[in-house]
Amino acid sequence: MQLENKSIIVTGGASGIGGAVSRELIARGAKVVAVDINEDAGQALVNECGDSAAFLNGDVSDPETAKKAVALAAEKFGKLDGLVNNAHASRQKPFLELEKEDWELSFGTGFWATAQFMKAAYEELKKTKGAIVNYGSGSAMSGQTTQGAYASAKEAIRGLSRVVANEWAEDGIRVNVISPLALTEGVEKWSKAQPEAYEKVKNQIPMGRYGDPAKDIAPVVAFLLSDDARYISGQTVMADGGTQKLY
């Protein structure tokens, strides 16, 4: 029960990696506010986890959603110890085909939502000396084709995470980034749209397989939120089967 009674917000926390993260945090004793646009998956989480989970149906790109999520965590669980900025929607297109809406979708749900949620959570996290986990991507680090809008937002998230980790260190708030690789519905959709790119990525994974959201990714997020990671901040942790090495 590494996270006993910790109150944690997980954006995109109803399904995919976020759904696995919500369940893992609860299994380790936490209470979770899952923020998602998928009402059915959100209700399924609450049905499964009972009082340990609260669901907020909201779009993370709307700044009001972040404020509502923090208020819900404080009201329902009395405090806020952690924030997981997992949600991120995007469209894959060659750079020259990307339109304003594509940039807005990726930066709105990825970078801007991460910034808004961190800002909204600050006062509560300061009280608990809490922790934040943001999300990067190996495809952004390697410059994978067709990921212009997504990769730019992901690297902006990493840049901001390092700055905020430094600025809020004196408040006792830690900020880290996880860069996962896992087979989710989102990745399955992408694999059907771009089977060659999917196979190429798979062939580059030294461990030879995509990660499992529950077994390979969620425990790493739980660790970063826990007191076991109390001396780790401003880092990017690669949970990708050894694909990318950061030096």
Ligand X SMILES: NC(=O)c1ccc[n+]([C@@H]2O[C@H](COP(=O)([O-])OP(=O)(O)OC[C@H]3O[C@@H](n4cnc5c(N)ncnc54)[C@H](O)[C@@H]3O)[C@@H](O)[C@H]2O)c1
Catalytic residues: 150
Instruction: Supply 107's token pair.
Output: 């930066």
Instruction: Report how far residue 47's alpha carbon sits from residue 45's, in angstroms, rounded to the nearest whole number.
Output: 5
Instruction: Report how far residue 180's alpha carbon sits from residue 212's, in angstroms, rounded to the nearest whole number.
Output: 10
Binding residue for ligand X (CB under 6 A) from 187, 220, 221, 225?
Answer: 187
Binding residue for ligand X (CB under 6 A) from 16, 82, 148, 241?
Answer: 16
- Per-residue x/- marks for ligand X, 100-139, CB under 6 A? ---------x-------------------------x-x--
Instruction: Report how far residue 218's alpha carbon sits from residue 49's, in angstroms, rounded to the nearest whole number.
Output: 16
- Nearer to ligand X by Cβ, of 98 and 231: the residue is 98
Q: Does 156 bind ligand X (CB under 6 A)?
A: no
41-48: long-range contacts, CB 8 A cutoff, minimum separation 24 = 41/14, 41/15, 42/14, 44/14, 45/13, 45/14, 45/19, 48/23
Q: Which residues pair with 133 in a beta bridge?
A: 84, 176
Instruction: Report how far residue 165's alpha carbon sits from residue 130's, in angstroms, rounded to the nearest whole number.
Output: 12
Start-to-end CA distance of the chain, whole Å, equals: 33
- Per-residue x/- marks for ligand X, 59-98, CB under 6 A? xxx------------------------xxxx---------
Instruction: Supply 66's token pair.
Output: 């972040």
- Nearer to ligand X by Cβ, of 101 and 227: the residue is 101
Instruction: Report how far residue 203's alpha carbon sits from residue 93's, in angstroms, rounded to the nearest whole number.
Output: 22
- Nearer to ligand X by Cβ, of 125 and 239: the residue is 239
Of 70-78, 96-104, 115-123, 184-192, the window that binds ligand X (rule: CB under 6 A) is 184-192
Residue 23: CB minimum distance to ligand X, A: 13
Residue 125: CB minimum distance to ligand X, A: 20
Give the largest CA-CA distance in the chain: 49
Residue 13: CB minimum distance to ligand X, A: 7
User: Rounded to an integer, what is the distance from CA 92 to the centroid of its chain?
Assistant: 19
> Is 132:121 a contact under the CB 8 Å cutoff?
yes
Q: Does 184 bind ligand X (CB under 6 A)?
A: yes
- Nearer to ligand X by Cβ, of 200 and 230: the residue is 200
Q: Does 197 bind ligand X (CB under 6 A)?
A: no
Instruction: Supply 11's token pair.
Output: 């954006």
Of 1-9, 122-130, 168-176, 178-186, the window that binds ligand X (rule: CB under 6 A) is 178-186
DSSP state of 2: T
- Nearer to ligand X by Cβ, of 3 and 149: the residue is 149
Chain positions contacting ligand X, by CB under 6 A: 11-12, 14-18, 35-38, 41, 59-61, 86-89, 109, 135, 137, 180-182, 184-187
